[in-house]
Chain A
């Protein structure tokens, strides 16, 4: 489960994307907390106000943690196009590795949300007969290149069901 040395890293600007997304989440949490304070909690007894301040504070602190962890997330978020499979690796302390054999791939999708578009990044979704899995935030050139390689590999692979 160790990350192979030839595994690909994501483009560096992905760190800014993650930061921006986390800032948006934090902003939404703060807006909700402020709205709840003015419209409901302010008129409640002190006991509830104190608890609201504690819970709200914890929520804001929790939303900051992913921002601190961005360098860690970047260092241990990699993918590998091996000869027989696509592998995705995530995490160091809590590790997760996914493996999809190339001959199970049915199709490949490239999607781009507003934030990804702003940074010229793409999400590559690999579709099997059962599930989807994604390599998020790769640059345009790599996405097109990977897509072509995956489709070629899937076409060359033996058809799974002998009578289908």
Chain B
């Protein structure tokens, strides 16, 4: 185990491609703009750039070595400034194994090692063999089990045998069913977003398109009937939905979550295979989310806020998905098996808010809407008076504005009714359950007391004194930043109860 190794030579090619990708546009622009250069000179510059980059990557690859023994991994790198990174196995918080499609034939993977959960990972080993990664993972598990056993035996001297020992011996497994994944991808509303983005892109880039092409398209659109345009819109939406479905299926294909004692392993992916290992103690909170559409199909998604680096891949996602899709009636039992240290059987209590909560919230949101509408009307009136626009006197414009405002009012009303129905707070032993509904998505958070970093309360004088209510925010850690979970119009007595509960953490 004590032998210094290099990454696979394919790293040179991968690094070269990423370097070319990064400098592609600047070089192309430079080559195109330099009219004084001949074609031969331009080709020569390109070749020179590639040769120099290859040489640089070759030297970088040669000087990047790693070794590991029973207790730590050591990485040596740097051409001029030599650096050594020592990472003890006990301190590793997350190990993320990623296998893009181009590394699969070589049985190579990229490995990210994270010890702090803050910012960038401590080290990234690119294109190393699966055998090496497995050895590193085994050694890390061995060292961390030893460390946990040592802590537990120390605790056992003072108290009765801990229940975590029992939990450690148990294991649990969740595997996604393709049928559920398919329904999940089908119920994703991102397709509308992509269709919207396609439309926005067309309006942005139509200046750059050739005039002839633009004329043909515009003539076609003007001559087409509403039915044909509707069909075209529907077609664009279907294409966008299919893109989203493929993205989701590619991401969560064969998703498997395995808990072995205190270790969680998440494996997923179709084209790019992704495996993440972390300790359950890194979980700060669990969030069970349900969009309105998925609520109809009784499907839920479970995510976790981790005290770990979440930039594990290029796909941006705010939280780490623990269970991509699960039936509502199965989720509680499954989550309890996967995370026995959490409690999920907390009864929902909706009587935590003040009596007039719904009315006050509606009054507040409609008040803001009214202020915005009035400001827009005043500005439009002033501008039309100045430039003789008469925009507000046109029936079409007026009816369009009225329809838009009415639609917005109905959306606000339905969202607020859902919020009023869903929002709840409950405490059971050392667990806090907060349920919210924002933008038609119901989210239920399960947070352990010792993971709550702080608490904020806000209220205006009337709400506090006349209604005995306040808004409450719970602060939890999320990756290297924080997340605020807000609940509104809560009875002050309940806020005080939560404050007392939070401070009784011994």
Contacts and interface: CB of A to CB of B under 8 A. Distances in A.
Given A95-B461, A97-B457, A103 B505 contact: yes
A99 interface: yes
Nearest to B449: A101
A128 B262 contact: no
A133 B147 CA distance: 34
Given A1-B464, A95-B460, A99-B502, 11 more contacts: A1-B470, A84-B503, A95-B457, A97-B456, A97-B457, A98-B456, A99-B499, A131-B475, A160-B451, A163-B281, A164-B281
A85 interface: yes
B453 A129 contact: yes
A130 B307 CA distance: 9
B506 A130 contact: no
A101 B164 CA distance: 25
Contact of B450 (A47, A99, A160): A160
A131 B454 contact: yes
B453, B481, B506: most-surrounded residue (chain A CB, <10 A):
B453
Interface string B141-177: 0000001100100010000000010000000000000
A154 to B, nearest CB: 13
8 contacts: A1-B492, A84-B503, A93-B461, A96-B458, A101-B505, A128-B477, A130-B476, A162-B164
Contacts of B453: 100, 104, 128-131
B297 interface: no
Contacts of A68: none
Nearest to A164: B281
Interface string A127-153: 011110100000000000000000000
Interface of B: 147-148, 151, 155, 164, 262, 279, 281, 307, 386, 450-461, 464, 470, 475-478, 481-483, 492, 495, 499, 502-503, 505-506
A68 to B, nearest CB: 19
B460 to A, nearest CB: 5
Nearest to A95: B459
A93 B463 CA distance: 10
B119 to A, nearest CB: 14
A161 interface: yes
A158 B506 contact: yes
Contacts of A84: 503
Contacts of A158: 506
Contacts of A39: none
Given A85-B503, A158-B506, A130 B461 contact: no
A129 B118 CA distance: 10
Given A95-B460, A160-B450, A130 B481 contact: yes
A98 B454 contact: yes
A94 interface: yes
Counting contact residues on chain A (CB < 8 A from B), the size range is 20 to 34
A99 to B, nearest CB: 5
A157 to B, nearest CB: 9
Contacts of A131: 453-454, 475, 481-482
Nearest to A160: B450
A92 interface: yes
Closest 6 CB pairs of A and B: A130-B482, A130-B477, A130-B453, A128-B453, A84-B503, A131-B482
B505 A163 contact: no
A106 B460 CA distance: 32
A161 B282 CA distance: 9
Interface string A87-116: 000001111111111011000000000000
Contacts of B505: 101, 103
A162 B151 contact: yes
Contacts of A163: 147-148, 151, 262, 279, 281
A29 B147 CA distance: 60
A77 to B, nearest CB: 15
A93 B460 contact: yes
A92 B482 CA distance: 27
A74 to B, nearest CB: 18
Contact of B503 (A92, A101, A160): A101
B478 A99 contact: no
A141 to B, nearest CB: 26
A47 B386 contact: yes
A101 B449 CA distance: 11
Interface in A7-50: 47
A82 to B, nearest CB: 8
Contacts of B148: 163
Nearest to A102: B503
B464 A99 contact: no
Contacts of A128: 453-454, 475, 477
Contacts of A95: 457-461, 464
Nearest to B150: A163
Contact of B460 (A94, A99, A101, A164): A94
A93 B279 CA distance: 45
B454 to A, nearest CB: 5
A1 B454 contact: no
Given A100-B453, A131-B475, A161 B281 contact: yes
B345 to A, nearest CB: 23
B455 A99 contact: yes
Contacts of A1: 457, 459, 464, 470, 492, 495
Contacts of B452: 101, 104
B458 A94 contact: yes
A161 B155 CA distance: 14
Contacts of A164: 281
Nearest to A100: B454
A98 B457 CA distance: 7
